[in-house]
Amino acid sequence: MNRRHFLQKSATLAAASSSLVSTQFLSSCSPEKPAEPSKKPNIVIIVLDDAGWGDVGYHGSKIKTPNIDRLAREGVELDRFYVNPTCSPTRASLLTGKPSSRSGILTPINYNQSHSLPAGTPTIADMLADQGYETAISGKWHLGWSPEAVPGNFGFHHSYGYLHGWIDQYTHLTRDEIPTWHRSGEMIEENGHATDLIADNAINYVKKTRDKSKPFFLYVPFSVPHLPLQEERRYVDPYSEILDSESERFYAASMTHVDEAVGKLMSTLDSEQLREDTVVLFFSDNGATTPGPKNYLQPPPNINVTPSSGNYGSNLPLRGWKGGLYEGGIRVPAFISWPGKLGAGKVSGTIAVYDMFPTLAHLTGADINEYAGIEGINIWPALSGNALPEDRTIYIRTPRGMAVRKGGWKIIHTGKTSGEGPNELYNISGDPYEEHDLAAENTAKLEEMKTELARQFAMD
């Protein structure tokens, strides 16, 4: 896609502690400024589906995620990384560089819904293709079902995986048995667990499919640990003496399975001698889902499936769950890894998922001013120890409410508009677990935050 076409198209956080540090960059050693790339790096974005803050080993979980833990330990942890509380909105924010509500996406897009990422919306894949990248997605799309809404119409040269929000991991059908497994928009049938198929396709792309004369952008959104959890006993049984319930063990098994897949993808980058030329971004699309009955599907014969009740993942010590605006629903494990360019460390400043668009634009030499509507900021300077703006504003909206995180404060508003409904106010800097609602006692700060909330809502 040439620049003119693109411009025409665009015109249409380590576990939280009770004693928070004041600096925005932490490291076990003196941070060194990351080297500016001498050539365009390859980019891999790995997204888990419904993994909570407390579901990775490097946050103290009992779940075994050694490959993810190693990447986090060797890279830069993004300690306060904010997403939307559900799937489709986070994916829209990532790809467009702005709050998902600007694109009209407030909820997960189901197979019987006609809305999608609006046609003509420029995405990260468009921007990178315009910079000479070959682009590919292997995994979950969840931004539309129609022929016009498939990844190939939003900048992806190669696409594989599924279009719906969740699937049977083996049949790859929805609960209503709707086909959704595809390659380049054409429905296909394949045998195997979705975690393995998604990883194998990504690995095959790196080894064989890609145009090796070009840098590549590979987006790998996995299907787990979203329900239904269908895992072989070899992943489940090691947790028999570690976790209390079968549902927790199946959840942990899905995390260990996907961790194994991440490890295979990283080993491929190593064996292809690409690792030091590749930026890897990892995060979850929202917090872990609430415990309790989940009527997703009946297991096919001879396939292990998690029980439909009990606990699954964990967002502890954060408050809340997937779907909600408390920290547990929207603050997720995240890190960036780039051997030789980024040392080990931790950025504790506030970062939004929609900051990835301008950050990748910076790394690849794109002029962000040429792309209309971008609201994220370039966080690359923060990776070298520079402070992020203290009054940084992050806005998240759902059908039932909205939230603004600004500076050390956060307002949660319940209501379909900014002007009607109750508000909660939290000093996140001093109360990271949202235990004390200050709306009644700090009316001045509440009014300030309400004004910002109304300003953001008016931009939707």
Tell me what pLDDT residue 354 has.
98
Q: Is residue 321 located within the same domain as residue 444?
A: no
The answer as to whether 216 is a domain residue is: yes
Q: What is the CATH number of the domain that holds 419?
A: 3.30.1120.10
Tell me what pLDDT residue 384 has.
77
Tell me: the pLDDT tens digits for 353-384?
999 999 999 999 999 988 889 999 999 999 87
Q: What is the CATH number of the domain that holds 279?
A: 3.40.720.10
Q: Is residue 306 located within the same domain as residue 222?
A: yes
Give the helix/strand (H/E) hosting 242: none
Q: Is residue 251 located within the same domain as residue 119?
A: yes
Q: How confident is the model at residue 1 (pLDDT cuts 50, 70, 90)?
A: very low
Q: What percent of the chain has pLDDT over 70?
A: 88
Instruction: Give the pLDDT mean for 80-94.
Output: 98
Q: Is residue 369 located within the same domain as residue 454?
A: no
Instruction: Give the pLDDT mean for 414-434.
Output: 97
Q: Is residue 432 located within the same domain as residue 318?
A: no
Instruction: Give the pLDDT mean for 282-291.
Output: 95
Tell me what pLDDT residue 110 has.
82
What's the angle, vertex CA 74, arms to CA 71 and CA 80, rounded to 5? 75
The answer as to whether 24 is a domain residue is: no
Strand order in the sheet with 409-414: 393-397, 401-406, 409-414, 423-427
Residue 5 has pLDDT above 80, yes or no: no
Tell me what pLDDT residue 302 has.
43
Q: Is residue 85 located within the same domain as residue 156?
A: yes
Q: Is residue 46 located within the same domain as residue 84?
A: yes
Instruction: Give the pLDDT mean for 411-433.
Output: 97
Q: Report yes or no: 148 and 114 within 8 Å, Cβ to Cβ.
A: no
Tell me what pLDDT residue 293 has.
65
> For residue 450, what are the domain limits?
400-458
Q: Is residue 451 located within the same domain as residue 338?
A: no
As for how many domains the chain has, the answer is 2
Question: Which of 362, 389, 416 is the C-terminal boundary of a domain?
Answer: 389
Q: How confident is the model at residue 328 (pLDDT cuts 50, 70, 90)?
A: very high
The answer as to whether 360 is a domain residue is: yes
Q: Is residue 150 located within the same domain as residue 292?
A: yes
Q: Is residue 352 located within the same domain as residue 442?
A: no
Non-local CB neighbours of 123 within 8 Å, separated by 6+ positions = 95, 96, 117, 154, 155
Tell me what pLDDT residue 238 has.
97
Q: Is residue 260 located within the same domain as residue 345?
A: yes
Question: Which of 345, 361, 389 is the C-terminal boundary of a domain?
Answer: 389
Tell me what pLDDT residue 419 has.
93
Instruction: Give the pLDDT mean for 211-228.
Output: 96
Distances in Å between the Cα of 63 and the Cα atoms of 54, 60, 235, 256, 321 are 9, 9, 11, 7, 18
Considering only 73-82, 174-183, 432-441, which range has the smallest mean pLDDT?
174-183
Q: Is residue 196 located within the same domain as residue 140?
A: yes
Tell me: the pLDDT tens digits for 93-133?
999 999 999 999 999 998 777 789 999 999 999 999 999 99
Residue 239 has pLDDT above 90, yes or no: yes
Tell me what pLDDT residue 246 has.
87
The answer as to whether 20 is a domain residue is: no
